[in-house]
Amino acid sequence: MHIARFFHISVAAFLLLFSLTAQAEEQNSETCTSKPGVRALKNYPDVFNFYYENDMFTGTDRNYTSGMKFSWISANLEDYINDPCLPKWVRQLNRISETVQPGAFDTRNMVVSAGQAMYTPTDKKRTDLIKDDRPYAGWLYLGLAYNARTEKQMDVVEIDVGMVGPASMAREAQNWIHQIRDIEHFNGWGNQLRNELGIQLVKERKMRVLEISNPGWPKIDAITHYGFSLGNVKTYLNAGMEMRIGSYLPNDFGTSPIRPASDSNAPLPEHQSRRLSDGGVHAFIAVDGRAVARDIFLDGNTFSDSHSVSKRYLVGDVAAGLAWQWVGGKITYAHILRSKEFREQKDAQNFGSITLSLEY
């Protein structure tokens, strides 16, 4: 019930923001200039993404065992700074965007997200502290990201703020899911990490380095990414690449499982009004490597004693999947293989990731 309540509150918050935006438009309609404002934003539909990841797709229940994220991707925000038709909070956010992403970009947009992740050891029956396996941990967070793009490049800046520990409600969420699926509960949640406020700042650059499009042949592209994360939740450097092939390739910057800066719904080019305006199928394969300086889910709490294990400093993911897009929506499935993350880990991890995108 706790996790359901959290998502109800999140949805209500989003609806409230939209309501305030509409009210501001009505109140300022008489003083608006001829510049594009809220009415122009309505010509560019928003996108809503729902991510669900779980190792049940591979028949396991351990390590990174489940993740959910809901995100709202705004319409383009180019030139939306001084327009009196826009609510003040939107104009202020756009000023932040130009501060954290200086430079010449064609278009910008923003992403608001809410998510939860949970981590468990392998043995669900033991109630004592399992010293040679990863800690029980949960992460409940809100995120704000800015995307700024040119034709072949997108820069992303994201900040996530949330709670690690019992306040993440990971135990309640997992018990609820296991009860629905009639699966045995994990018994060791009393040993989970302590409550800690988590902050993570992420910056990443994505670049389309290859495009092949010949009539009668499948389309192919390749997208690289590199960046960093700073914070008490995770601190790392990362880099990777994705290749896509199919009858239709979206005008975005790739597909990714849940991670900061992963929402690839780029701002639209000036001549386009919709992201999901056409249909098709494409397959993809992606790799991501990380040099990890800190991972709270392995290193334990920052400011208090807690369970910890000896993490590996180099970690990598390989993902492969299929995406089907239709007018107004897209569904993606990816299978991810993640290398061992700590010294005592016996096997690499596999899990599945489903993403549903809807344009409204």
Half-sphere exposure of 273 (CA within 13 A, CB side): 5
Q: ∠ CA 161-166-170 to the nearest 5 degrees?
A: 80
CATH of the domain at 67: 2.40.128.140
* Chain segment 195-207, per-residue pLDDT in tens: 999 999 999 999 9
User: Where in the sequence is the domain holding 254, given as residue range(s)?
Assistant: 2-359
Evaluate if residue 275 carries a pLDDT over 90.
Answer: no
* Chain segment 62-79, per-residue pLDDT in tens: 899 999 999 988 877 756
Evaluate if residue 25 carries a pLDDT over 70.
Answer: no
Cα distance between residue 302 and residue 234, in whole Å: 11
Cα distance between residue 247 and residue 78, in whole Å: 30
pLDDT-derived band at 7, boundaries 50, 70, 90: very low
Structure-block tokens of residue 47 = 């996108």
Half-sphere exposure of 248 (CA within 13 A, CB side): 14
Q: What is the CA radius of gyration of the chain?
A: 21
What's the mean pLDDT in 36-46? 57
Q: What is the pLDDT of residue 103?
A: 80
Counting residues of the chain whose pLDDT is more than 90, the rounded percentage is 56
* Chain segment 162-205, per-residue pLDDT in tens: 999 999 999 999 999 888 888 899 999 999 999 999 999 999 99
* Chain segment 214-261, per-residue pLDDT in tens: 988 999 999 999 999 999 999 999 999 999 999 989 888 887 767 665
The per-residue pLDDT of the chain, averaged, comes to: 84
Total domains, the chain: 1
Evaluate if residue 31 carries a pLDDT over 90.
Answer: no
